[in-house]
Structure 1
Amino acid sequence: MTTVLVAGATGSLGSLIVKNLLERGADVRALVRGPSKDKLPTHPRLTPYVGDLTDGAAALQPLVDGVEVVVSAVQGGPEIIIDGQRELLRAAERAGVHRMIPSDFSINLHGYGYGINVLSDLRRRFADEFDSSTVARTSVSIGAFPEYFLADVHEILDPVAGTFSIWGDGTRPIDITTIPDTAAYTAAIALDPKTAGREVHVVGQQLSMLELRNEVEAASGRRWKLVRKGTLRDLRAEIARRQFTASSMFEYLALQYQIAMFDGTASLRDVRNADYPDVLPTSVTAYLAGSGAAHFAVPEENWRQDEWPTAV
């Protein structure tokens, strides 16, 4: 039986990774901060550990002794994605852990260079830590979460105006995977030793922005006026303008994801869904007919621009 430690085990993604690992028969150790411990379910194969990545490698090592795979689902700035995960990696090295899945869960981070996306840069910098590590890296790429991509942060759907906005011609396929499907794939990948040292790309559905608009109209039962905001060159100019005037990176971060998706550099390559046939990903149609229907309603409050998004 495989023992897996999950850091960030009570977050929106981490909690579902824990659930899927337990369903697959793994022994799970959940690393959580003290106030979050009560959010964990009770299960005979789930052991909670209270701690923080900033506690340092020496403090984290006892938590990973005997662990075969570490899964990180933490979010934050460089102090978490680089410094905190580095301490977790060092602890894993000392404990003889075989593999680690870092907190990537995003578009194809290595399809484009530095300086395009702030958060991608952090994840790539941490990926470099594995070059001299005894722990093998397994990176999971899934494209965009519809839970975020269709939320107000991406400025695509406007329920008040009834508009659907795009940059470019909207015909290039983009990658979309729900958070629950990402968790299911991640659990399967964590228990698959063949993924050691690999980039693993899995996806829920690939469709263009124009096709996504059609899905939104069919699911909502209303027309959404198509707003063409400009070319991809215009999008790059808008990102540069916001970077110059913004009080926070959150004012342009979503557009940084979009440019890499819409120009194709962030597209997933060598998609490995067939390696995990028991994971049946949710279609966009099914998502919008379920929890995704909330995107069609006027939000009660706007997304806070001081929040770290889960991913895309």
Structure 2
Amino acid sequence: MTTVLVAGATGSLGSLIVENLLDRGADVRALVRKSSVNKVTAHPNLTPCIGDLTGGADTLQQYLDGVEVVVSAVQGGPEVIIDGQQELLRAAERAGVHRMIPSDFSTNLYGYSYGVNVLSDLRRVFADAFATSTVARTSVAIGAFPEYFLGPVHEVLDPAAGTFSVWGDGTRPIDITTIPDTAAFTAAIALDPKTAGRDVHVVGQQLSMLELRNEVEAASGRRWELVRKGTLQDLRAEVVRRQYTASSIVEYVALQHQVAMFDGTASLRDIRNADYPDVAPTSVTAYLAGSGAAHFTVPEMTRHRAEWPTPV
């Protein structure tokens, strides 16, 4: 039985990774804050470990003895993605852990250079720590989460105005994978020793923005006016403009993701779905017919401007 420690185990993605690992017969240790331990579901192969990445390597090591794989599903700013994960990596090194899946779970973050996306840069900085580590890195890339890409932060769908906005010509395929499918793939990848030292790209579905609009119209039963907001050069200029005026990265980071998605530099490469045939990804049609239908209603809440968003 493989022993896996999951950091961020009570989050929307982390909790599903835990569930999938248990379904696959793994022995799971869930790293959770004391305030969240009641969110951990009882299971004979699940052990809650009270703590967080701010506790440092010395505190974390006690939970890593005997662990073969670490999966990090944490979110946050540099103090979490760089500093916190580095402490987790140091603890893993001391405990003799074989592999670690860092909290990437996004587009192909390594297909473009530094400076394109502030959140990608954090993950690339942390990835450099593996160059001299005894722990092998396995990065999981899945494209965009539709749960976020079709939400307010990306400014694609505007339910109140009934519009669907596109930068560029909208014909390049983009990669989309739901959060539950990402968790299912991640559990399979975590238990696959052949992924040591590799980037593993998996995807739910690839379709263009224009095809995505067609899916939205079919699922919602209404027309969504296509708004062409400008060229990709215009999009880059809009990112720069917002960087000068924004009070928070939330105001421009989603557009940074779109730049790399729409120009192809963030596209997934060498997709490995066939390595995990028991994971049947959800189509966009099925997603929009289920929980994704919520995108068609006017949201009642807005994101707190100081919050660090999920990668995509």
SS in 1 for 2:227: strand
Report deviation, 1:203: 0.2
Partner of 2:51: 51
Partner of 1:198: 198
Range moving further from structure 2, 118-127 or 297-306: 297-306
Partner of 1:280: 280
Report deviation, 1:191: 0.1
- 1:71 maps to 2:71: yes
- Counting aligned pairs with the same residue, the percent is 82
Distance in 2 (CA, whole Å) between partners of 1:247 and 1:307 is 11
Report deviation, 1:181: 0.1
Question: Structure 2 stretches of 5 or more lacking a match?
Answer: none
* Matching residue's letter, 1:66: G
Report deviation, 1:41: 0.3
Distance in 2 (CA, whole Å) between partners of 1:301 and 1:51 is 31
SS in 2 for 1:164: strand
- 1:299 maps to 2:284: no
Distance in 2 (CA, whole Å) between partners of 1:82 and 1:176 is 26
Partner of 2:266: 266
Give the 5 Å matches for 1:73-152: 73-152=73-152
Q: Is the 8 A contact 2:250 2:309 kept in 1?
A: no
Question: Structure 1 stretches of 5 or more lacking a match?
Answer: none
Give the 5 Å matches for 1:192-271: 192-271=192-271
Question: C-alpha deviations, 1:214-240, integer Å up to 9, x for none?
Answer: 000000000000000000000000000
Report deviation, 1:300: 1.1
Distance in 2 (CA, whole Å) between partners of 1:237 and 1:245 is 13
SS in 1 for 2:18: helix
Partner of 2:169: 169
SS in 2 for 1:110: coil
Distance in 2 (CA, whole Å) between partners of 1:272 and 1:82 is 27
Name segments (4+ residues, structure 1) moved above 4 Å. none
SS in 2 for 1:229: strand
SS in 1 for 2:116: coil
Distance in 1 (CA, whole Å) between partners of 2:290 and 2:37 is 29
Q: Is the 8 A contact 2:61 2:91 kept in 1?
A: yes
Q: Is the 8 A contact 2:107 2:143 kept in 1?
A: yes
Distance in 2 (CA, whole Å) between partners of 1:22 and 1:40 is 13
- 1:160 maps to 2:160: yes
Report deviation, 1:52: 1.1
Report deviation, 1:305: 2.2
Report deviation, 1:267: 0.1
Report deviation, 1:54: 1.0
Report deviation, 1:303: 2.3
Distance in 2 (CA, whole Å) between partners of 1:272 and 1:304 is 36
Distance in 1 (CA, whole Å) between partners of 2:59 and 2:40 is 22
* Matching residue's letter, 1:70: V
Report deviation, 1:304: 2.2
SS in 2 for 1:6: strand
Distance in 2 (CA, whole Å) between partners of 1:291 and 1:64 is 36
Partner of 1:15: 15
Question: C-alpha deviations, 1:82-109, integer Å up to 9, x for none?
Answer: 0000000000000000000000000001
Partner of 2:34: 34
Distance in 2 (CA, whole Å) between partners of 1:6 and 1:224 is 40
Question: C-alpha deviations, 1:256-284, integer Å up to 9, x for none?
Answer: 00000000000000000000000000000
Count, aligned residues: 312
Report deviation, 1:309: 2.0
SS in 1 for 2:71: strand
Report deviation, 1:163: 0.2
Distance in 2 (CA, whole Å) between partners of 1:7 and 1:301 is 28
SS in 2 for 1:56: helix
Partner of 2:60: 60
Distance in 2 (CA, whole Å) between partners of 1:225 and 1:142 is 28
Q: Is the 8 A contact 2:13 2:179 kept in 1?
A: yes
Report deviation, 1:308: 2.0
Report deviation, 1:131: 0.2
Report deviation, 1:249: 1.2
Distance in 1 (CA, whole Å) between partners of 2:82 and 2:51 is 17
Q: Is the 8 A contact 2:56 2:87 kept in 1?
A: yes
SS in 1 for 2:94: helix
